[in-house]
Amino acid sequence: MATTWYPDTCDCVHQQVDDGAGDVMHVGTERVCADHGGLAGLAAYTQARKESSTKNNVRALAAETVAKLRKTNPDGSVDLPDTVTYAWTFTGLGLARALTVQFSGVNLSNADKTALRNAIAAAPARVPVTTTVS
């Protein structure tokens, strides 16, 4: 069944379908946003998926990597503590869009910051990421 996907990382609108095995496929484009304006429908969709997954993966990686950025839920999953704010923005256009992330509300040691940057750098590259930690 096709669903409409509104990425939280841009203003594109795409139609996608789950193949039943967990893979989501692009089936149509309703709108390509200004940031992805130079890309055709499928290319805009693929780029938006990369951006969204990178943004979500960095958040998960932070919780997995740095103890001060980890809250363990009752089911054993981890997330950022409620006191930590994860802010993100994208700059650039089309395939050159890059992610900048910032974690605030926590005092990280230099070792924490280095571990986080190294973990992000070692993660599978999706879109370029700049990290600011305060």
Residues that bind Zn ion (CB under 5 A): 10, 12, 33, 36, 48
* Residue placing its CB nearer to Zn ion in the complex, 70 or 126: 126
Distance (Å, whole) CA 121 – CA 128: 9
CB atoms within 10 A of CB 19: 8
Angle at 110 between CA 105 and CA 113, to 5 degrees: 60
Q: How far is the CB of 12 from Zn ion (least distance, A)?
A: 3
* Residue placing its CB nearer to Zn ion in the complex, 39 or 58: 39
Q: How far is the CB of 30 from Zn ion (least distance, A)?
A: 11
Beta bridge partners of 98: 91
Q: How far is the CB of 111 from Zn ion (least distance, A)?
A: 37
